[in-house]
């Protein structure tokens, strides 16, 4: 694990409760927009995992408030949510989700899965962190299994990485590490695995290119 990711996990342990409150505040600024984004993500999740059988085991890495895990469970999957911060784990328990405490870089995955969902988590990963996670995911997935994830597109911001505490409703009171990937660099990392790229596209932000989104299949 990189020192950047390790430090960011420490920050989330200190600020997870604030993160949960900020997420609600952010959505309430424009509830209709938040609902549209939620519906779009739900549709993408359903399409991305449409090849998995009902009851398939799905692991979510970095579940935070549990909204994605709840949606996945509603699709008929056997979902295990996961996180590291105590307040996130308490929230998953409150949501009555099956969950584990999991450091996706350092810990062994406790089971084999048909799907892995990792949304807005690798934003805090270095290149080497991403390589470690993809290698572990490949080994933990059943044949035909899929991992779905996104990272911030380097072309949308003229920096490689930075430590940021955002203003306004995103303010956490502590700096978090963010790393930005060019698509060709991420494809080189993926090429070191045996994953097949099912989908790769850009979305989000004013120019529609904030996020690089990938669906990989074993």
Give the domain CATH number at 97.
3.40.50.150
Q: What's the rounded Cα separation, in Å, for the pair 15 and 76? A: 32
| Longest pairwise C-alpha distance within the chain | 44
| pLDDT band with cut points at 50, 70 and 90 for residue 55 | very high
Contacts 24+ apart (CB under 8 A), 39-43: 41/68, 41/119, 42/71
pLDDT score at 41: 97
pLDDT score at 15: 95
Backbone angles phi, psi at 101, to 5 degrees: -85, 120
Q: What is the mean pLDDT of residues 111-140?
A: 98
| pLDDT band with cut points at 50, 70 and 90 for residue 1 | confident
Region for residue 205 given its phi and psi (left: phi exceeds 0; alpha: psi -120 to 50; beta: otherwise): left
pTM of the model: 0.96
pLDDT score at 167: 85
pLDDT score at 187: 97
List pLDDT tens digits, range 56-100: 999 999 999 999 999 999 999 999 999 999 999 999 999 999 999
Share of the chain above pLDDT 90, in %: 91
| Number of structural domains found in the chain | 1
Which pair of structure tokens corresponds to residue 110? 């406790």
Share of the chain above pLDDT 70, in %: 100
Q: What's the rounded Cα separation, in Å, for the pair 58 and 45? A: 12
pLDDT score at 77: 98
pLDDT score at 189: 98
- pLDDT at residue 169 above 80? no
Q: Among 121-125, 138-142, 170-174, 195-199, which stretch is predicted with the lowest mean pLDDT?
A: 170-174
pLDDT score at 65: 96
90 contact partners, CB below 8 Å, separation of at least 6: none
Q: Taking Cα atoms as reference points, which of 112, 104, 67 lies closest to residue 84?
A: 104
Range of the domain at 129: 3-217
């Amino acid at each position: 694990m990189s020192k950047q990711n390790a430090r960011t996990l420490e920050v989330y342990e200190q600020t997870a409760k604030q993160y949960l409150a900020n997420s609600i505040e952010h959505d309430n600024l424009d509830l209709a927009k938040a609902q549209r984004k939620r519906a779009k993500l739900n549709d993408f999740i359903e399409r991305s995992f449409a090849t998995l059988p009902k009851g398939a085991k799905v692991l979510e890495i970095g579940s935070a408030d549990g909204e994605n895990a709840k949606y996945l469970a509603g699709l008929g999957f056997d979902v295990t949510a996961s996180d590291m911060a105590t307040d996130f784990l308490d929230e998953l328990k409150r949501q009555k989700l099956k969950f584990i405490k999991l450091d996706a870089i350092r810990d062994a995955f406790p089971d084999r899965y048909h799907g892995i969902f990792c949304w807005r988590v690798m934003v805090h990963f270095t290149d080497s962190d991403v390589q470690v996670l993809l290698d572990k995911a490949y080994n933990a997935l059943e044949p035909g299994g899929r991992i779905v994830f996104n990272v911030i597109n380097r072309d949308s911001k003229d920096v490689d990485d930075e430590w940021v505490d955002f203003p306004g409703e995103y303010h956490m009171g502590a700096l978090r590490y963010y790393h930005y990937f060019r698509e060709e660099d991420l494809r080189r990392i993926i090429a070191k695995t045996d994953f097949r790229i099912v989908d790769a596209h850009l979305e989000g932000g004013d120019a529609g290119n904030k996020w690089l989104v990938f669906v990989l299949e074993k």
